[in-house]
């Protein structure tokens, strides 16, 4: 177990001690270099804690995974896949959490990632219901831009949903949770495991456990729908019924749904993965130009997407 350090004065003193060289501040970091504070979130296999890196005073989110638990559940390789996907993406994109360090001790694995302070898109949606069309467009564009980077690195996320879209200090999006991500190298063995979340999972994943870059674009369609409509595109009384609806692509737009957004959603929620907007042949990256140039995005300034002004949430 690692100790909690909640008192800011104590953290500051520990940072000062670390910096003054009372302990050698070189080499790989270890758990003793972090002062752990509040829990930010809990997943099925992990706990994410806020922590200060004592060598620099910088704050991070540290995802802590229990080795014995992972072994018991046969999920050790999944945790390593998560790390490998994060390493792949660590050259950095503003819309994706960055891995700064990864280390382990006898009991746990630790992933040190960007601290994203404004919570999940899901929490925001639960609070305000739906987003204005301006906000929905802005966030959709940020997801598209982050996916372009991710897929160009051959990483497919496979569990995109508002819970995994975090909001940074400026309320821009950062995609997190690469626990189900897969590196899709050309010519690699196809992955045959079912992953995802009922409301956002694609028909081909339900029917054939089929992974491709296109599963992220199905989820994108579901997320755009949800941000605007304020409800899931596909929702039944059980996960089974939800997935039955997905297999039939059975959903309806509420009255007054923005026409351009509707056109985009209809071009993403297409049963055949290779026929979704911008999809190429299986295993090839998306034609992001086809997505970026969709009329829904015509007012988006892609060059300033990550440093221009952020529309006011309402």
Return residues touching ligand ATP (CB under 6 A): 40-41, 43-46, 48, 61, 63, 97, 113-116, 120, 163-164, 166, 176-177, 179
Ramachandran angles phi, psi of 25, nearest 5°: -85, 35
Contacts of 59 (CB under 8 A, 6+ apart): 50, 51, 52, 53, 115
Lookup: tokens for 159: 């569990």
Q: How far is the CB of 39 from ligand ATP (least distance, A)?
A: 8
Q: What is the largest CA-CA distance in the chain?
A: 65
Measured from the CB atom, is 77 or 293 closer to ligand ATP?
77
Q: How far is the CB of 118 from ligand ATP (least distance, A)?
A: 9
Q: Cβ distance 185 to 154 under 8 Å?
A: yes
Q: How far is the CB of 41 from ligand ATP (least distance, A)?
A: 2
Is 105 a catalytic site residue?
Answer: no
Residue nearest to ligand ATP (CB): 43
Q: Cβ distance 138 to 311 under 8 Å?
A: yes
Q: Helix (H, G, I), strand (E, B), or coil: what is residue 66?
A: strand
From 218, 254, 226, select the one nearest 125 (Cα to Cα). Answer: 226
Contacts of 78 (CB under 8 A, 6+ apart): 45, 70, 179, 180
From 112, 219, 129, select the one nearest 165 (Cα to Cα). Answer: 219
Measured from the CB atom, is 81 or 163 closer to ligand ATP?
163
Measured from the CB atom, is 14 or 160 closer to ligand ATP?
160
Measured from the CB atom, is 61 or 261 closer to ligand ATP?
61
59, β-bridge pairs: 52
Catalytic residue among 81, 145, 159, 177: 159
| Alpha-carbon gap, residue 51 to 112, rounded angstroms | 9
Contacts of 294 (CB under 8 A, 6+ apart): 260, 263, 264, 267, 277
- Report the chain's C-alpha Rg in angstroms: 20
Contacts of 185 (CB under 8 A, 6+ apart): 154
| Alpha-carbon gap, residue 42 to 49, rounded angstroms | 9
Q: Helix (H, G, I), strand (E, B), or coil: what is residue 295?
A: helix
Measured from the CB atom, is 114 or 267 closer to ligand ATP?
114
Measured from the CB atom, is 290 or 313 closer to ligand ATP?
313
Lookup: tokens for 195: 């992953």
Measured from the CB atom, is 42 or 105 closer to ligand ATP?
42
What is the set of active-site residues? 159
């Amino acid at each position: 177990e690692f100790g909690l350090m909640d008192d800011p004065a104590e953290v500051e003193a520990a940072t000062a001690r670390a910096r003054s060289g009372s302990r050698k501040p070189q080499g790989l970091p270890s758990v003793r270099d972090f002062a752990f504070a509040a829990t930010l979130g809990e997943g099925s296999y992990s706990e994410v804690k806020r922590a200060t890196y004592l060598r620099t005073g910088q704050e991070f989110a540290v995802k802590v995974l229990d080795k014995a638990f992972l072994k018991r559940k046969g999920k050790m390789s999944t945790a390593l896949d998560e790390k490998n996907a994060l390493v792949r993406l660590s050259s950095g994109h503003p819309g994706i959490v960055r891995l700064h360090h990864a280390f382990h001790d006898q009991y746990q694995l630790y992933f040190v990632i960007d601290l994203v302070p404004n919570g999940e898109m899901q929490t925001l949606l639960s609070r305000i219901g739906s987003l204005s069309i301006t906000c929905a467009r802005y966030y959709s564009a940020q997801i598209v831009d982050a996916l372009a980077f991710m897929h160009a690195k051959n990483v497919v996320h496979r569990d995109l949903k508002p819970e995994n879209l975090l909001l940074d200090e400026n309320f821009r999006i950062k995609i997190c949770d690469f626990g189900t991500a897969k590196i899709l190298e050309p010519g690699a063995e196809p992955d045959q495991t079912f992953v995802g979340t009922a409301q956002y999972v694609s028909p081909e994943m339900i029917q054939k456990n089929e992974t491709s870059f296109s599963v992220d674009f199905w989820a994108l369609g579901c997320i755009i729908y949800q941000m605007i409509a304020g409800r899931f595109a596909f929702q039944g009384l059980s996960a089974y019924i939800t997935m039955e609806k997905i297999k039939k692509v059975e959903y309806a737009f509420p009255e007054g749904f923005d026409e351009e957004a509707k056109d985009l959603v209809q071009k993403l929620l297409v049963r055949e993965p290779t026929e979704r907007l911008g999809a190429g042949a299986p295993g090839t990256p998306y034609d992001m130009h086809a997505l970026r140039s969709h009329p829904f995005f015509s007012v988006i300034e892609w060059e300033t997407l990550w440093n221009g002004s952020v529309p006011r949430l309402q």
